[in-house]
Amino acid sequence: MTKADIVNEVSKTTGIEKVTVQRAVEAFMDTVKGSLSEGKNVYLRGFGSFIVKKRAEKTARNISKNTTIIIPEHFIPAFKPAKTFVAKVKNNVK
């Protein structure tokens, strides 16, 4: 499902114009991205959590040049689904 599919589905379900729904979806995504970039997690009860994970510094190898490089510690965005969400997907996906 794409963002356009989500906009169409919400518009059809609620009766709100697609343009308005599109703006709301974009605003939601901008808010989540902004919060995560500031290091703040976003919790949506019954759906899941958008969280910031810290990756430790590690040593990696460049196989083609046979050299070792150090990847510094960094932060990545992640999504952790709610237990009810996971249970629903487990029971319904075939």
Task: Evaluate whether 51 touches 78 at the Cβ level (below 8 Å).
Answer: yes
Which tens digits make up the pLDDT trace of 3-35? Answer: 999 999 999 999 999 999 999 999 999 999 999
Cα distances (Å, whole numbers) of residue 43 to 21, 39, 84, 85: 21, 13, 14, 13
Sheet of 74-81, strands arranged across: 42-44, 48-55, 74-81
How far apart are the C-alpha atoms of 15 and 9, rounded to whole Å? 10
When the pLDDT of each residue in the chain is averaged and rounded to a whole number, the result is 94
How far apart are the C-alpha atoms of 20 and 27, rounded to whole Å? 11
Name the CATH superfamily, with its identifier, for domain 3-92.
Answer: IHF-like DNA-binding proteins (4.10.520.10)
Instruction: Please tell me the pTM assigned to this model.
Output: 0.79
Task: Return the domain boundaries, the chain.
Answer: 3-92
Whose tokens are 């952790």? That residue is 80
14 Cβ partners below 8 Å, 6+ apart? Answer: 21
The confidence band for 94, taking pLDDT boundaries of 50, 70 and 90, is: low
